[in-house]
Chains A and B, each alone.
Chain A
Amino acid sequence: GAVVSQHPSWVICKSGTSVKIECRSLDFQATTMFWYRQFPKQSLMLMATSNEGSKATYEQGVEKDKFLINHASLTLSTLTVTSAHPEDSSFYICSAHRDPYGYTFGSGTRLTVV
Chain B
Amino acid sequence: DAKTTQPPSMDCAEGRAANLPCNHSTISGNEYVYWYRQIHSQGPQYIIHGLKNNETNEMASLIITEDRKSSTLILPHATLRDTAVYYCIVRVGITAGNKLTFGGGTRVLVKP
Question: Which residues of A pack against B, CB within 8 Å?
Answer: 4, 6, 32, 34, 36, 43-46, 49, 57, 91, 93, 95, 97, 102-108, 110
**Of all chain A residues, which has the CB nearest B44?**
A105
Q: A57-B97, A103-B34 are in contact. Are A44 and B41 (CB under 8 A)?
A: no
Chain B residues within 8 Å of A46, by CB = 99-102
**Of all chain B residues, which has the CB nearest A1?**
B46
Q: How far is the CA of A6 from the CA of B41 in the complex (A)?
A: 13
Q: Looking at chain B, what size class is its interface with the partner chain?
A: 20 to 34
Main SS class of interface, B? loop
Q: How far is the CA of A95 from the CA of B98 in the complex (A)?
A: 12
B49 touches A43 (CB 8 A): no
Chain B residues within 8 Å of A104, by CB = 46
Instruction: Name the contact of B98 in the complex, choosing from A32, A44, A93, A110 (C-beta under 8 A).
Output: A32
